């Protein structure tokens, strides 16, 4: 008797199928990573509630005045995009330091896949926009982030 796949596994399988990709997440893994348009995304299983979608924006500066500017700008962006975007900016502590991430949440429902696609798109858009804004604010109006190799991930609507 085969084990029943979790809601996370079922939703990811549908995502990979729609994208024409082979599933690469081993069974029972609570997270998977992918890169879309040069932005690193993590999909996290938050049983029993749903899937958290996180896109890395920037690493917070070590200097307190610069960190304060970054956090103020992030809060202003959150307020400005509150009605138009499923994703919001959060802090995430890692071994590499503290990062700002665009995070959205997809509850496990009948239409989780459709909501996941929109949440991924919003997280990518917010990460791209916020990354440019935060980088410009820190470097005199110029985007100082390295230009990633552009990869297109076409998500069906």
For residue 19, the domain's CATH number is 3.30.1460.10
- Whole-structure pTM over 0.85, yes or no? no
According to DSSP, the β-strands at 88-94 and 31-36 are unpaired
* Residue 144 within a domain: no
Q: What is the per-residue pLDDT for 79? A: 93
* Residue 80 within a domain: yes
Query: With the CA atoms of 51, 53, 59 and 61 taken in that order, what torsion angle do they form, in degrees rounded to the nearest 10?
Result: -80
CB burial string 41-55: b at 16+ within 10 A, e below: bbbbbeeeebbbbbb
Q: Cα separation of 133 and 143, whole Å?
A: 8
Q: What is the per-residue pLDDT for 24? A: 61
How many of the other CB atoms lie within 10 Å of CB of 19? 15
* Residue 146 within a domain: no
Q: What is the per-residue pLDDT for 119? A: 93
* Residue 157 within a domain: no
Q: Tell me the mean pLDDT per 10 residues along the chain, length 157.
A: 81 85 67 87 91 94 92 93 91 91 91 88 94 73 45 44
How many structural domains are present in the chain? 1
Q: What is the per-residue pLDDT for 57? A: 94
Q: Which domain holds residue 61?
A: 7-136
Reported residue count of the chain is 157
Tell me: cis bond preceding 59? Omega within 30 of 0 counts: no
């Amino acid at each position: 008797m085969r084990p029943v796949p979790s809601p996370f596994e079922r939703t990811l399988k549908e995502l990979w199928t729609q994208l024409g990709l082979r599933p690469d997440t081993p069974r029972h893994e609570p997270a998977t990573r992918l890169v879309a348009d040069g932005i690193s995304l993590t999909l996290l299983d938050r049983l029993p509630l749903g899937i958290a979608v996180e896109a890395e924006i920037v690493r917070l500066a070590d200097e307190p005045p610069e960190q304060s500017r970054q956090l103020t700008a992030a809060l202003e962006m959150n307020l400005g995009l509150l009605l138009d975007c499923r994703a919001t900016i959060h802090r995430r502590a890692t071994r590499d330091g503290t990062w700002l991430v665009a995070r959205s949440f997809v509850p496990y429902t009948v239409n989780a896949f459709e909501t996941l696609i929109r949440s991924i798109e919003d997280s990518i858009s917010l990460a791209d926009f916020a990354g440019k804004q935060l980088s410009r604010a820190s470097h005199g109006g110029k985007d100082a982030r390295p230009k990633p190799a552009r990869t297109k991930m076409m998500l069906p609507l």
